[in-house]
Amino acid sequence: MTSKQRSNLRSIASTLEPVCQLGKVSVGEDDGIFSETFLSSVNDALEARELIKITVLKNAAFTAKEIGDDLAREVNAECVATIGHKIILYRYSHKKGVKHIEF
């Protein structure tokens, strides 16, 4: 992904509301493994929207920067940016009826 594409996705994401929250329950404190229900909800949101924003709660064991790339790898997505307590993820959706993001 080019820096221009990232910039475009960041500007689109600035108006989005977070679709889910990442906290202590979503991430194991010892091994850093994401819960299956959290990964399922992130996958569903990516299929429906392509671009999503996730909030990392203050009680989480990790910061957004520490966990953004790992989460993206788990759901086969691109980590566009981590800003403060927010993670922005993008993945092209193959679902019919989804309005695709133009680059």
Domains, the chain, ordered by start: 3-90 (3.30.110.60)
Structure tokens at 40: 């399922």
Residue type, 15: T
Res. 61: pLDDT tops 90:
no
Burial zone of 46 (CB within 10 Å; 0-12 exposed, 13-18 middle, 19+ buried): buried
pLDDT band for position 60 (50/70/90)? Answer: confident
- pTM of the complete model: 0.90
Res. 29: pLDDT tops 60:
no
What pLDDT score does 103 carry?
73
The average confidence (pLDDT) of the chain is: 90
Pairing of strands 20-22, 51-56: parallel
